[in-house]
């Protein structure tokens, strides 16, 4: 098997999860640590044994032996860096979101197709054991017809998280905050499980801003699934709790309640005997140890990275491919559009009546 040579562009909070995931695979060489700040790049390289360090992404992309790159930088830089990597013939694994606009995201998916390269947006929780099991249960009809959902994420981000960043908490750099950053994965997983979501109404709040942030710290939305299921979604970064998610999916034949924390936990599975038996089997499975890094990122970067590396070699369609990332980006943009326009209030008022 040909050795896969990989580089990490952006050496901040989530970069260790990328290094861990690729290092766990056979026949993969982690070669480059690249960051706009040389000290940050050197720190990651030193901690994980990466042999080459640079602040110049073009040096990485000019390396003919590099097959693929992780892009784990500020949101606004994703489009330019991903495009440059694809044009240089590299496969790309990019942290969410794919881009700051649906137009830029669509341009990247088209570029990846023309270049014949794998482009994947990090949606690691699609690979969580609990999430994949629930998707199988829904597909097998164990929940019946989906009718409702309740999705919430509360987390705490302090002043330093925003004030110490050149891009977080700004529209130009982050494209939003609570929804596009912390709330992305809960929304993405719910969209995947329900088969798609459309926006009925949304409201964004600037209720307890931290560190001079100009973007939303709280957001709530009402969403509708393709068969009519109504989903309420809420996210805040102004909680006293570091991180807690809850996702409840309710069907005519059964209901499940789970989280995207580590370890991902199925809190409830009620309904028919087949559903309860499947839930009991899932509960008996051994819990994997978390990789080094921030605990609430979970363990499934490893699974998505393994899927990415396999797709680079054999060309199969990934669970979290570029089209999936584009579709979630479009949903995010729709939520922000509704939340930012006066039409949101009349829509919600009409529903109450």
pLDDT, residue 344, reads 31
Which are the contacts of 91, defined by CB distance < 8 A and separation ≥ 6?
67, 68, 69, 117, 118, 119, 308, 312
pLDDT, residue 292, reads 65
Rounded to whole angstroms, the Cα distance separating 196 from 245 reads 20
Which pair of tokens denotes residue 227?
């068969």
Please measure the distance between the N-terminal and C-terminal CA atoms of the chain and give it in whole angstroms.
Answer: 63
pTM equals: 0.93
Rounded to whole angstroms, the Cα distance separating 221 from 204 reads 9
DSSP letters, 103-161, are: HHHHHHHHHHHHHT--EEE--GGGG-HHHHHHHHHHHTTTT-SEEEEEEEEEEE--HHH
pLDDT tens digits for 139-191?
Answer: 999 999 999 999 999 999 999 999 989 899 999 999 999 999 999 999 999 99
Residue 257 near residue 268 (C-beta atoms within 8 A):
yes
Rounded to whole angstroms, the Cα distance separating 71 from 283 reads 34
Low-confidence ranges of the chain (pLDDT < 70): 291-293, 341-353
- Residue 34's DSSP bridge partners are 9, 54
DSSP letters, 310-337, are: HHHHH-PPPTT-HHHHHHHHHHHHHHHH
pLDDT, residue 285, reads 85
pLDDT, residue 350, reads 33
pLDDT, residue 207, reads 86
pLDDT, residue 247, reads 98
Domains and CATH numbers, the chain: 4-121 (3.40.50.720), 125-296+329-346 (3.30.360.10)
Q: Is the peptide bond before 45 cis (omega within 30 degrees of 0)?
A: no
């Amino acid at each position: 098997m040909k050795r896969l040579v990989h580089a990490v562009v952006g050496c901040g909070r989530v970069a260790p999860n990328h290094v861990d995931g690729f290092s766990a695979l056979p026949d993969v060489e982690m070669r480059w640590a690249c960051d706009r700040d040389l000290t940050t790049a050197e720190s990651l390289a030193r901690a994980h044994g990466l042999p080459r360090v640079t602040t110049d992404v073009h040096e990485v992309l000019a390396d003919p032996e590099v097959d693929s790159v992780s892009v784990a930088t500020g949101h606004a830089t994703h489009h330019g860096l991903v495009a440059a990597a694809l044009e240089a013939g590299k496969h790309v694994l990019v942290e969410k979101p794919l881009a700051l606009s649906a137009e830029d995201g669509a341009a990247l998916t088209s570029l990846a197709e023309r270049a014949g390269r794998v482009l994947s947006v990090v949606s690691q929780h699609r690979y969580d054991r609990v999430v994949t099991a629930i998707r199988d249960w829904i597909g097998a009809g164990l929940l019946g017809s989906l009718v409702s959902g309740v999705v919430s994420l509360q987390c705490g981000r302090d002043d330093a998280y925003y004030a110490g960043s050149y891009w977080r908490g700004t529209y130009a750099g982050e494209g939003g905050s609570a929804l596009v950053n912390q709330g992305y994965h809960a929304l993405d997983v719910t969209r995947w499980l329900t088969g798609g979501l459309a926006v009925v109404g949304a409201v964004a709040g600037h209720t307890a801003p931290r560190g001079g942030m100009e973007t939303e710290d709280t957001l709530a939305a009402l969403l509708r699934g393709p068969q009519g299921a109504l989903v309420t979604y809420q996210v805040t970064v102004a909680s006293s709790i570091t991180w807690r998610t809850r996702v409840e999916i309710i069907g005519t034949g059964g209901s499940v309640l789970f989280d995207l924390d580590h370890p991902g936990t199925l809190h409830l599975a009620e309904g028919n005997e087949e559903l309860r038996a499947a839930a009991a089997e899932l509960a008996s499975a051994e819990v994997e140890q978390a990789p080094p890094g921030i605990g609430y990122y979970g363990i499934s970067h490893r699974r998505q990275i393994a899927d990415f590396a396999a797709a680079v070699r054999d060309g199969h369609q990934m669970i979290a491919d570029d089209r999936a990332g584009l579709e979630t980006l479009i949903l995010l943009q729709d939520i922000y559009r509704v939340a930012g326009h006066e039409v949101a209030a009349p829509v919600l008022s009409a529903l109450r009546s």
